Each structure stands twice: as structure tokens, then as C-alpha cells.
Amino acid sequence: MARLRTLRSPLSILDTRTGKALAPVASEQDRKRRLDKTRGSARQRGYDRDWEKLRDVVVIERGCRCEACGIIVVLRKREATVTTPVAEVDHIESITDRPDLRLERSNLRVLCKPCHSGRTARDQGFARG
């Protein structure tokens, strides 16, 4: 008996008038992979030593709490646990849209990893629904 190794969904975008498939729907992972190939490294995108220093200061100034859900966050991945995720400092206005606000404290917010991932997915169009 042959084993089923992978199963790809046959879902497509449907034309509501004709009911015919227009194009296959790309998975969110495929879309993210394509985005990752086209963007530069973290340093090229503006996350340099100045950013790292400011990031730590902002997290501490704001009480090591996620500004979205209020959970306590930690600065480093090695300090994280199941109940205390890593702090991520998010740009309210993205660096690509407003590079002049890259190191502006008023343009930053502290989020936990889950809140930041969800926010980024929504902003970049990867979120469902």
C-alpha cells in the first residue's frame, strides 16, 4: 500500500459569476518565503547597533510589559519561558514608510512575540480573515 506523503489543497480563487477557478491560492508560508527572498538582512533594513541599544532602553523604560496584552516580557531569548515571552519593539510607522522615525521613541511600542507576530501578519497581509 502506497503511503500518502503530502496533500496539497486544490483550493483556488473562484470567479463568483462563473464559478470557475481563476488561480490557485498561495499558502501564507509561500507568500512569506517570497517576501523573505526579496528583502535585505536585518542590518540592511535598519536594525543596527543603535537600534539594539534603543530597543533595550525602550523595553526597560516601559516596564518590560507588552503594550497590547500586558504580559511581562524579557529582553533576551535565553531568558524567555513559556509564560514570559521575548520583548519585541515594533515601529508604529514602518521603517520603509518613514525611515526618519527609525530611532524615534514616540514611534515605538513594546510587544510580546505573539502580539508582534500577529500585528506583523496583519500589516503585511499574511493574517487569515
Give domain limits for the chain.
49-124
Query: What is the chain's pLDDT, residue by residue, as a tens digit (129 residues)?
Result: 555 555 555 555 556 666 666 555 566 677 677 767 777 777 777 778 999 999 999 999 999 999 999 999 999 999 999 899 999 999 999 888 899 999 999 999 999 988 998 888 888 776 655
Q: Which stretches of the chain are DSSP H helices?
A: 28-38, 49-61, 113-124
Q: Report pLDDT for 34.
A: 76
For cell 499574511, name the residue: 126
